[in-house]
Amino acid sequence: MKLSTQAEDDIFVITVMEDRIDAAVALAFKEAMRSHAEQAAETVVLDLANVNFIDSSGLGALVGTMKHLAPERTLLLAGMTAPVEKVFELTRMDTVFRMFKTRQDALLAQKE
Amino acid sequence: MATDTREGTTRGHTPLIVSLQTGEQAVREALAQIMKGLAPLDLTPEDAIAVELVLAEALNNVAEHAYPTHHAQGPIQVTCDFEHGGLNVTVADRGLGMPDGQAPKGNPQPVDLDVQDLPEGGFGWFLIRDLTRDLTYTRIGRENRLRFRMDMRSTKAG
């Protein structure tokens, strides 16, 4: 699972470099998130702009990642495409995650 | 080659039939073939998302539960028939049957919980039930057959 990590001030931004988070990669995604987020301080922004498909396995992996990071670290989601947003809305997970239109929006919200 | 498409369109009464052997990569390939096969219907983006999501959940369920081990892989056949403004879908496999001979109810998962109590699974059947109608599951002989219909909001195929 290809992820790229960038530190912006003390905020960790992880970008998913693949276009699907589905059953084929859900486990690998969760493990990659754990290892990438290891050095993160308080906030992890996950940029999903490249992802155009997520299924229930991928959604479960995101929930698992949030649980792994909590309570010390917060996971923010950014750049969700329409198919990804739809799955969050249908399952009401959009009420659980903090979601931002773009990674810049997420970073700005943290600086305020 | 894990997948095989027999028809390229679902116009009229020529259904799109895609066959695959189980496996996560095979599910990806089958979904790509199905979505390509449905392209002539010119589905709205929202409908296309729903179709791909429901089929992904249905195929992943078969791969995980009907054929639960590498030793028990087997065939899955997906049939999509476009009729009267909607898709009639059949997913057939020859794996294990559903528990109690019934498709899961797919109740919504609770979300108003503490982070550590949030569910990490159980979304699949909710999504299938939520986005389809007239869902039936039958097991005849060794074959499982899941059928449902998805209304399409608008397509050029009419």
Taking an 8 Å cut-off on Cβ atoms, the answer to whether A56 and B121 are in contact is yes
pLDDT at B154 over 70: no
The answer to whether B52 contacts A53, with C-beta atoms less than 8 Å apart, is yes
Closest by Cα among A67, A52, A70, A56 to A16: A52
The predicted pLDDT at position B1 comes to 39
- What pTM was computed for the model? 0.92
- Residue in A55, A67, A70 closest to B56 by CB: A55
Question: In the prediction, which pLDDT does B88 show?
Answer: 98
Q: Which helix (H) or strand (E) holds B17?
A: strand B16-21
Residue type, A44: V
Q: Would strands A11-16 and A20-21 be described as parallel, antiparallel, or unpaired?
A: unpaired
> Looking at residues A78-105, what average pLDDT do you find?
97
Chain segment B17-63, per-residue pLDDT in tens:
999 988 778 999 999 999 999 999 999 999 999 999 999 999 999 99
Using a CB-CB cut-off of 8 Å, the residues of chain B touching A74 are: none
Res. B2: pLDDT tops 70? no
Q: Check CB contact under 8 Å for A55 and B126.
A: no
Running DSSP on this structure, what letter comes out for residue B11? S
Residue A59 at interface with chain B, using a CB cutoff of 8 Å: yes
Instruction: Report yes or no: A17 and A2 within 8 Å, Cβ to Cβ.
Output: yes
Other CB atoms closer than 10 Å to residue A70's CB: what's the count?
A: 14
Confidence of residue B71 (pLDDT cuts 50, 70, 90): low
At B4-17, the pLDDT tens digits run 555 545 555 689 99
Q: Is the pLDDT of residue B3 over 80?
A: no
The ipTM (two decimal places) reads 0.94
Verify whether the Cβ–Cβ distance B127 to A93 is below 8 Å.
no
The residue ranking higher by pLDDT, B117 or B153, is: B117
Burial class (CB in 10 A: 0-12, 13-18, 19+), A48: buried
